[in-house]
Amino acid sequence: MPELPEVEVSRLGISPHVESQRVRAVRVWQPRLRWPIPDAVHLLQGEPIIQVRRRAKYLLLDSTHGSLILHLGMSGKLCVVPTQTPRLKHDHFELELETGKSMRLNDARRFGAVLWQPANETHALLANLGPEPLTEDFSADHLFQQSRGRSAPVKSFIMDNHVVVGVGNIYANEALFASGIDPRRAAGRISKARFQRLTQEIKSVLARAIVQGGTTLKDFMQADGKPGYFSLELSVYGRAGEPCVVCERPLLQKRIGQRNTFFCAHCQR
């Protein structure tokens, strides 16, 4: 599933082509995605896209009437192509722009979403979310306060969107390794000093992944069709049984919160 860096890379990829451009036509080829595409998305027709924003793993295309909300699901991809480009098999949604280009959502598994948020309202999916990890609102103080009394594993804790948004499985594994924290450790038993290191590493790993264009494992591709290269820098994710890059002992793999978790039992305590 595309994580925050991949969604941010998609935002950076489509923004120059979409922002400040007027929508000539809205086309829904497959209305049944994760949720039915609402008729309200046609309110974009004739309207300029004011800006393209990201909130957690959602992209928002703002107009005066409201915001188009996009989620890439498991395998969704956004691309900008000349409007006359033949439609591909799994192209489900299109915004045709007055520039002669179109933004299309391609999603083979159809777990993505195209939704609508009226102006001056907040969609239920975006309500009650935690802070963005790359902002000043995300801090060691925040993690420490939120963690008190929590017995959940710290990996599950930092992947909770009510605590902080967008720290998906890949980057949670990597940040915990860089912080030297065992992902199985109870969140409420971690000191503020260790949360300070973890906060820094979450910010660092996400920022580096964005610069590298995300992590291509199976389905993710950038808006220009190029793969993300952060997978070349992964220290633990997907490397069970391989030597730790620090101590050279074999890395372990466990299930935490129904997600594969990779770590070094020697370096992470």
Residue 255 marked in a binding site: no
Has 259 been annotated as catalytic? yes
Taking residue 96's Cβ as centre, other Cβ atoms within 10 Å add up to 17
Catalytic residue among 22, 87, 185, 259: 259
CA distance 244 to 263: 9
Stated as kind and residue range, the H or E segment containing 11 is helix 4-18
Has 243 been annotated as catalytic? no
Give exposure, 3-38, as e/b (b: 16+ Cβ within 10 Å). Answer: bbbbbbbbbebbbebbeebebeebebeeeebbeebe
CA distance 68 to 43: 9
| Beta carbons of 210 and 9 less than 8 angstroms apart | yes
Residue 150 marked in a binding site: yes
Catalytic residue among 3, 8, 94, 174: 3
Assigned token pair, 137: 């609102």
Cα-atom radius of gyration of the chain, to the nearest Å? 20
Catalytic residue among 2, 133, 153, 183: 2
CA distance 83 to 229: 29
Residue 109 marked in a binding site: yes
Has 3 been annotated as catalytic? yes
Find, among 41, 55, 44, the residue nearest to 11 by Cα. 55
Taking residue 116's Cβ as centre, other Cβ atoms within 10 Å add up to 19
Has 155 been annotated as catalytic? no
Assigned token pair, 214: 């995300």
Catalytic residue among 54, 57, 77, 101: 57
Active site amino acids: 2-3, 57, 259
Q: Which residues make up each annotated binding site for DNA? A: 90, 109, 150
Q: Which residues are annotated as a binding site?
A: 90, 109, 150
